[in-house]
Structure 1
Amino acid sequence: MKISTFKKSIFLILLVFISLVNAQMNSKQVDSLVNYVMSKFNIAGYAVAVVKDCKIIHSKGYGVKSINTKSPVNEHTQFAIASNSKAFTTAALAILVEEGKLNRLDKVKDHIPEFRMYNQYVEDNFNILRFSNT
């Protein structure tokens, strides 16, 4: 993982944690937190959204998309998510398992028949979530 990706990940985790712990943050406080972290970690730009009770309570862009173009970030700026999608997918699957909607040992093909892998054995035996005891 590159340092810049690591810093961005830490920032996101920090922001989410603080938002969850202190659900009473207002937009001005979020602005202050984002600006502080961006300056501390030398981040060019971020798009941030805070959702509470299924409603967007804060949505804003900070900084620039590129230090070369100086084009500003807004709440609609798209960023590459890279390998972070794996964590989101795993968390979503774990929630479905916890709610009893899936079993962690279910075969993926039982839920997604068109699922394909590089070899038939792996394809046929690929589980939803496989937790290791080691």
Structure 2
Amino acid sequence: MAPIKVGCPAILIALLAGLAAPISVKGDQIDDYIKAQMRQLHIPGASLAIVRDGHIAKAQGYGFANLELQASARKDTVYEIGSTSKQFTAAAIMMLVEEDKVRLDDTITKYFTEAPQRWRGITIRHLLTHTSGIQNHVAVPHWLDVFRTNLAFETTPSRDEL
């Protein structure tokens, strides 16, 4: 088996996007398709949910969630997706921009009124381009406890401030 690359489950999700349209495919055809794609792309495991009209039509785990432990993937397996969600967030924001519901140059304090004062000049564009200067507090132990104490968050100086 070839080495596994980070983000492979996301590739499988993209391949499944075509299945989201109204289809009359039987469960075993979906299973066969998933298994074939996993073999072809060397994906060790995946979890799938097909939701139709607000109800789960199919939920299934395939392969392994952990190769080292030989732990099977289940329909409720939680995967670390890393930065994959950034693409979906950006696409969703751009859809809101196209609908004139959000502007890229709106400040985040327009939508997040409880944000620290120091963030008042940060725009949605800054967040999408990773140029806000907001530090990665998630990497700091007990970051949520710090956030709840309403301490002022520090930002990295912008190019203009340097």
TM class, shorter-length: 0.7 to 0.9
- Checking the alignment, whether the CA contact within 8 Å between 2:4 and 2:43 is kept in structure 1 is no
2:124 — aligned with what?
Answer: 128
Instruction: Give 1 or 2: higher helix fraction.
Output: 1
Partner letter of residue 123 of structure 2? N
Question: What root-mean-square deviation, in Å, do the aligned CA atoms of Structure 1 and Structure 2 show?
Answer: 2.8
Q: Name stretches of at least 5 consecutive residues in structure 1 with no aligned partner.
A: none
Measure how far apart 1:55 and its partner are.
2.6
Partner letter of residue 9 of structure 2? K
2:153 — aligned with what?
Answer: none
Question: Per the alignment, in what secondary structure is the counterpart of residue 48 of structure 2?
Answer: strand
1:59 — aligned with what?
Answer: 59
Measure how far apart 1:106 and its partner are.
1.7
TM-score under structure 1 length normalisation: 0.75
**Distance in 2 between residues matched to 1:11 and 1:48, nearest whole Å:** 10
Measure how far apart 1:53 and its partner are.
3.0
Identity over aligned residues, as a percent? 26
* Greater gyration radius: 2
Segment of structure 1 superposing worse, 2-11 or 79-88: 2-11
Change (3 A) 1:125 1:65: same
Question: Per the alignment, in what secondary structure is the counterpart of residue 57 of structure 2?
Answer: strand
Question: Per the alignment, in what secondary structure is the counterpart of residue 48 of structure 1?
Answer: strand
Question: Per the alignment, in what secondary structure is the counterpart of residue 104 of structure 2?
Answer: coil
1:5 — aligned with what?
Answer: 6
Q: How many residues align?
A: 126
Partner letter of residue 101 of structure 2? K
The answer to whether the aligner puts 1:41 opposite 2:27 as a matched pair is no
- Checking the alignment, whether the CA contact within 8 Å between 1:44 and 1:64 is kept in structure 2 is yes
TM-score under structure 2 length normalisation: 0.64
Change (3 A) 1:56 1:98: farther
Deviations 1:18-38 (A, max 9, x none): 213563333212111110011
Q: Name stretches of at least 5 consecutive residues in structure 2 with no aligned partner.
A: 130-162
Instruction: Write out aligned runs for 1:1-134 (5 A).
Output: 4-16=5-17, 18-20=18-20, 23-116=23-116, 120=118, 123-129=119-125
